[in-house]
Amino acid sequence: MTTHPSSSAQPPSLPAFLLTTPPPVPPPSEPRLKALYASTASQRHSNPTGYAANVSWWSTVLRETLRSGWVNGDVAGHVQRDGADRLVLKVDEALVGKYEWDGRRPKGLGGVVETLATKSSPTLHPLSTFLASPTPLRAPPSITYRLVGRPLWWALGQLNPFGGEREVGEDECWKRFGKGREYVHMELLEQSASAFVSHLTSNPLLSYSSSLFNPTTFRETFGEAAFPGGNKGLPSGTHRLGEKDCEVLMKWLGRDVIKLLEPGENAAEHEITEADRGTLSIILTLDKLEKQIEDIESQLVSAQAKAKKHLAANQRSLAMSALRSKKALEEILDRRIGAAEQLRGVVRSIDQAKGDVEIMSAYSTSTTTLSHILRNPKLDAEYIASTTDALSEALADAHEIDEAVRIGGKIAVGAAGGGGELEEEELREELEGMVREEKERQAREEREERERQERQEREKREKEQKEQKEREEKEKEEQEKVGQLVNTAAASGKNESARREEVLVPPGGSSEDLWKHRYEDAQRREKEEKERAEVERMRRDERRAVAEGE
């Protein structure tokens, strides 16, 4: 249970256990809290109703602070400790100190414990008598105890040599029921047992060896599953039973070795035997070997690291010593692994043998059941023969009766009008007409479907022809345009050549001058083409660089 600092929503004068999240009980008002801390056993006669309400409040506080781990946490009671006892309450000065509030200590805890421990179905049961009791604690009291023992102890408790009704004070309650005495909280114990049974119902055990536990393995396996959940919330964190809790729960369920039975099995017929104890001893030895193997493996890793470290430091003798240790550990590890594997084989053989016993028991039960069923008089051979003969005769009689009824019906119809054959002929003609109509309908649907497909094919062909014609016309137009462009370019070229010759060749020039001008013009055009190509290349490079940058 976690303690939080006080805030504006909670008065700072509340005791520590009421400042936890969630609180064990709703925090009362300050006057009510003072009354609860001042209540003592002497008020049970002067104000029985109020005293009963106070006892109920403190009973809830004891239960919830014990269940949440607050009571058996650290010295201040502020920290939840994993494994703290949740079923066993120790009533001592330390417990009273944990409930201290502004210098006040609860004055009536002795009377509260006395009431919870002495009522007809005790909530608190002394731990020592709980563990020593050979009989179930919830067993009804004997007739002698009910008629003699309880009235006698009640009478002795009320005697007062000074006259008047004897009142039990708080000091006497604390002396008799406090002072370090330990109690089992029966309500939490029953919740824990219920959670344990629910867990087993949802997670049945699958083998004989997995049904045997000692206190340590029981706590490791069921410490969380058997935790008393109750109806109130718990603080966040891990909640599981402590060691003493498991001892109490195991006592409640069985003895030092717990053997879990299948549903419907009788505990009296499946007592814990020496074979069970021997199997548990093997399982515990195997667990110990596995832990030893893990420890040896860690030592091997350490020895290997030491050898490398010493070798790196040029300390060959120390490196050799570490390697010798490693070699010895490897030999021990091999022997431990071999022994563990042998024990696993033994456990598997035990489980197999136990399963074989159960199978043979099932065979025996099946044989007995089948023999009992076969001894039924109704399965006697003569009875079966007579029964089947009688059934055959009954079926034959039923067939004869059915035939007689059918023939009698035909005779009755003929006697009524004799028109049976005519009606039959009319029905046949009507049926043939229906068949003809059906055939005509099918033929009509097939013809319509065929016409529809032909129409679709025709439309498809017309569409394709139209598209082909359009493509041809378009190609023809494009060819005409290209021809016109070519003609225009050719005419333009001729005109340009003539103009260039007119420019290059001055009037009255010779043929040699003409060729010279043509050569110079060709050189000039070649140079211009190279310059244009270079400019175009630079532009492409520039565009490529821009694209790569993006």
| pLDDT tens string 275-303 | 767 776 777 777 778 888 888 888 889 88
Q: Quick one: pLDDT band at residue 150, thresholds 50, 70, 90? A: very low
**Residue 212 clears pLDDT 70, i.e. is over it:** no
Reported as a single tens digit per residue, the pLDDT across 323-334 is: 888 888 888 888
**Residue 218 clears pLDDT 50, i.e. is over it:** yes
Q: Could you write out the DSSP letters of every residue in 148-176?
A: IIHHHHHHHHH--TTSSPPPPPHHHHHHH
Percent of the chain residues topping a pLDDT of 70? 74
Whether residue 22 has a cis bond before it, omega within 30° of 0? yes
Evaluate whether 326 touches 304 at the Cβ level (below 8 Å).
yes
* CA pair distance 276, 285, nearest whole angstrom: 14
* Residue 41 to residues 48, 115, 269, 310, 440, Cα–Cα distance (Å): 10, 9, 49, 74, 108
Q: With CA atoms as reference, report the closest residue to 88 among 67, 70, 108.
A: 67
Q: Quick one: pLDDT band at residue 256, thresholds 50, 70, 90? A: very low
**Residue 447 clears pLDDT 70, i.e. is over it:** yes
Evaluate whether 347 touches 282 at the Cβ level (below 8 Å).
yes
β-bridge mates for residue 3, sequence order:
20
Q: With CA atoms as reference, report the closest residue to 59 among 173, 146, 179, 185.
A: 185
Q: Count the alpha carbons within 13 Å of 76 in the hemisphere toward its beta carbon.
A: 7
**Residue 261 clears pLDDT 80, i.e. is over it:** no
**Residue 124 clears pLDDT 90, i.e. is over it:** yes
Q: Could you write out the DSSP letters of every residue in 208-277?
A: SGGGEE-HHHHHHHHTTTT----SS---SS-----HHHHHHHHHHHSSSSEEPPPTT--GGGS---HHHH
- For the chain, give the number of residues: 550
Reported as a single tens digit per residue, the pLDDT across 483-495 is: 676 666 566 555 5
Is the whole-model pTM more than 0.85?
A: no
Predicted local distance difference test score (pLDDT) of residue 192: 83
Q: Quick one: pLDDT band at residue 317, thresholds 50, 70, 90? A: confident
Average pLDDT of 15-19? 87
Backbone angles phi, psi at 20, to 5 degrees: -85, 165
Q: Quick one: pLDDT band at residue 156, thresholds 50, 70, 90? A: very low
Reported as a single tens digit per residue, the pLDDT across 503-535 is: 455 555 556 676 777 788 888 888 888 888 888
What angle, 0 to 180 degrees and rounded to 10, lies between the N-to-C axes of helices 48-68 and 30-38? 100
Side chain identity at residue 205, one-letter code: L
Q: Quick one: pLDDT band at residue 415, thresholds 50, 70, 90? A: low
Predicted local distance difference test score (pLDDT) of residue 420: 56
Evaluate whether 241 touches 86 at the Cβ level (below 8 Å).
yes
Q: Quick one: pLDDT band at residue 231, thresholds 50, 70, 90? A: low
Reported as a single tens digit per residue, the pLDDT across 137-148 is: 654 444 333 333
Average pLDDT of 262-276? 58
CA 211 to chain centre: 23
* CA pair distance 59, 50, nearest whole angstrom: 14
Reported as a single tens digit per residue, the pLDDT across 341-353 is: 888 888 788 777 7
Q: How far apart are the first and last CA of the chain?
A: 62
Percent of the chain residues topping a pLDDT of 90? 11
Side chain identity at residue 541, one-letter code: D
Name the burial class of residue 57, with classes exposed (0-12), middle (13-18) and buried (19+) by CB atoms within 10 angstroms of its CB: middle
Reported as a single tens digit per residue, the pLDDT across 34-71 is: 999 988 888 888 888 999 999 999 999 999 888 888 88
